[in-house]
A and B are shown apart, each in its own frame.
Chain A
Amino acid sequence: MKLRVVLGYTAAGATVLVAVLTPFLLFPLFSKGVAALPLHVDEVYSGGPTVRAISMGAYSIDVHRPVYPHFLQSEKPFVQLDWNPVSALPQHVSDEVDIDGDGQPDIRVCFEVPRDPKPPLRVDVVSLNPRYQTMQNAGKEKFSRLIVRVDNAILVRVPLANP
């Protein structure tokens, strides 16, 4: 019984110590520990890692790895393309993009670049490869089908065709 009492008070004292150490030691330690775990934010949100960049002279197009939704997720598979920097883009962008790197263009993408960043963007995508879907006057309907401006880039997500 006495041992239990000693252990109880020791644990209570340790808890107070944990509280005192939290802002200086434990909080940074725990946060770094969590950040170091092999986890990543769902690519449906982040768009997946960039696999290559296509230089278009003054600007470039970053091609991301295709993203496939998990389980019953309500999105289609898609591929994200980033046009950046926005300041170097012409007012009207019309580019043929070779997504898979086989030397053949896969889609033609057309959109206007307004000077004011506020107005919503619209994009037309013409599929030149049946793997990618055509989009007409698309805005930001879904994570897998959109055009948005994020910081200094314009992101276009093109859905992959049905299996």
Chain B
Amino acid sequence: MPAFASCGEAIILGLVSGPACIAACGPILVPSLLAEHKGFRPHARYLSVFLAARLLGYMLFAVVAWELGLLASLLPAPRLLLMGVVYVLLAGVLLWYAYSARRSCAQPCADSKLVQITENRNHGVTGAAALGLLTGLNLCPPFVVAGIRAAQMGSMAAALLFFAVFFLGTSIWFVPFVGLGCIVRNQAVITVARMAMVLIALYYLSMGIAMLLGKKAYGY
């Protein structure tokens, strides 16, 4: 019964935290999805890999943090350091993604007509996995709230279960992103997505460096 109650609490917490997760992951997810192939299936595949890697990130953090003492891991100073590292890595992956996505285009970028997009399956999978894992490790406010609650669980298994159910609750909010598959893919859309990735990467890079230097960019 207590496990059932904590699962209920986790899923409600996840559902309530969904908009915050969308806000936190949107700058990473939207441009990278727009750089993908058109259609529901590629987007569903990308999103599945992204979310699976995000769950892995959650679990990884939960296990390591449990061993080190979960509450201690959520204290401001180590959190800031971890977030700084994650931000710099996110920036790196986004820059790599923006660079490698150029191969998605088969014709010169000046042409605004529809172009044939080349097959490049591995790019999408590895990119989605890397970005999902890093956003999973990114200590956004809803994650911290869930972490604090999980820390109060009696065992690591219970904490992992809490995180997993919380993850499910937040993931429902990601389903509409599959709709981005409807947007037509041409050279303009892919170029815009790549440029946006670079801009967002620059933001994460500057914030990450600021955090590593001890300047708090956000968080408590």
Contact = CB atoms under 8 A, between A and B. Distances in A.
A–B proximity contact (CB within 8 A): yes
Interface of A: 70-74, 76-77, 162-163
A72 B23 contact: yes
B1 to A, nearest CB: 27
B109 interface: no
Contact of A72 (B145, B148, B218): B218
Interface in B185-220: 216-220
Nearest to A160: B220
Contacts of A163: 144-145, 148, 220
How many of chain B's residues touch chain A, expressed as a range?
10 to 19
Interface in B86-141: 140-141
Interface string B143-184: 011001000000000000000000000000000000000000
Interface of B: 19-20, 23-24, 76, 140-141, 144-145, 148, 216-220
A162 B145 CA distance: 11
> By DSSP majority rule, is chain A's interface helix, strand, loop, or mixed?
loop
Contact of A71 (B23, B145, B216, B220): B23
A124 B19 CA distance: 37
A77 B217 CA distance: 15
> By DSSP majority rule, is chain B's interface helix, strand, loop, or mixed?
helix
15 contacts: A70-B23, A71-B19, A71-B23, A71-B24, A71-B141, A72-B20, A72-B23, A72-B140, A72-B141, A72-B218, A74-B217, A76-B220, A163-B144, A163-B148, A163-B220
Contacts of B140: 72
Nearest to B75: A162
A132 to B, nearest CB: 14
Contacts of B144: 163
A76 B148 CA distance: 17
Nearest to A74: B218
Contacts of B217: 74
